[in-house]
Amino acid sequence: MTRLENFISRMTAQRDILDQVCPEVAKMEGLVLELGLGNGRTFHHLRERLPGRRIVVFDRELSAHASSIPDAEDFVLGEIRETAKRFIGIDAALVHADIGTGYDDRDAVTSTWLPDLIASLLRVGGFAVSGTPLDHPLLQRLPPPPSVPADRYFVCRRV
Ligand code: SAM
């Protein structure tokens, strides 16, 4: 697979998984947390799919397209591993983490702390969607939509 094909496959997986979980998220209370704003594309998608829902967004920098910048009070600047700690116990309905790098060694480091963090941010029944695996006893892996190849992007439910 070329890097272009890999990119397209990741974007498609993000869209299809977010579209799968958003109708469920819409039925439950709780914040939506977007870990990794980047260009803001998935933030923009979540804002469209979950109108009126508060979405708190985290990144170490603000470099999104002008159309996809969160309100100042909903943007948390800094290293997610540290900044998200103050949200532990917030009972989020959805945490989406798109902070994979494409480098296996770096993503392996992220996998040492991200699953624990996400499990502590979600309410029971809440959803986690991530580009990196979320191996954690409280995060039950769900099958992605048929359009998403195995292990392309991950969707879990907090038990
Ligand atoms: N989903 C976004 C979109 O649709 O535009 C793209 C996210 S981009 C792939 C990843 C972003 O996460 C980058 O902006 C990067 O700065 C941020 N990021 C990655 N790891 C981070 C960390 N540990 N703490 C804070 N920000 C991080």
Q: What is the pLDDT of residue 34?
A: 98
Atom of ligand 1 nearest to the CA of 80: 24
Binding pocket residue ranges, ligand 1, CB within 6 Å: 36-42, 59-61, 79-81, 98-99
CA atoms in the 13 A half-sphere facing the CB of 122: 28
* Integer Cα distance of 29 and 134 in angstroms: 23
Q: What is the pLDDT of residue 144?
A: 95
Tokens for 45, please give them: 């998608």
Q: Of 99, 113, 114, 117, which is best to mutate to test ligand 1, by the most ligand atoms within 8 angstroms of its C-beta?
A: 99
Atom of ligand 1 nearest to the CA of 61: 16
Q: What is the pLDDT of residue 154?
A: 97
Could you tell me if 144 and 17 are in contact, meaning their C-beta atoms sit under 8 angstroms apart?
A: yes
How far, in Å, from the CA of 130 to the mean position of ligand 1? 12
Burial class (CB in 10 A: 0-12, 13-18, 19+), 34: buried
Q: What is the DSSP letter of 10?
A: H
Phi, psi values for residue 129, rounded to 5°: -125, 130
Instruction: Sketch out the chain's domains with CATH numbers.
Output: 3-36+45-54+86-158 (3.40.50.150)
Q: What is the pLDDT of residue 96?
A: 98
Mean pLDDT by 10 residues, the chain (159 residues): 95 98 98 98 98 98 98 98 98 98 96 98 98 97 96 97
> ipTM of the assembly?
0.99
**Nearest 5°: CA angle at 133, between 71 and 112?**
85
Atom of ligand 1 nearest to the CA of 100: 9
How far, in Å, from the CA of 37 to the mean position of ligand 1? 5
How far, in Å, from the CA of 57 to the mean position of ligand 1? 10
Q: What is the pLDDT of residue 55?
A: 98
Q: What is the pLDDT of residue 111?
A: 96
Could you tell me if 122 and 97 are in contact, meaning their C-beta atoms sit under 8 angstroms apart?
A: no
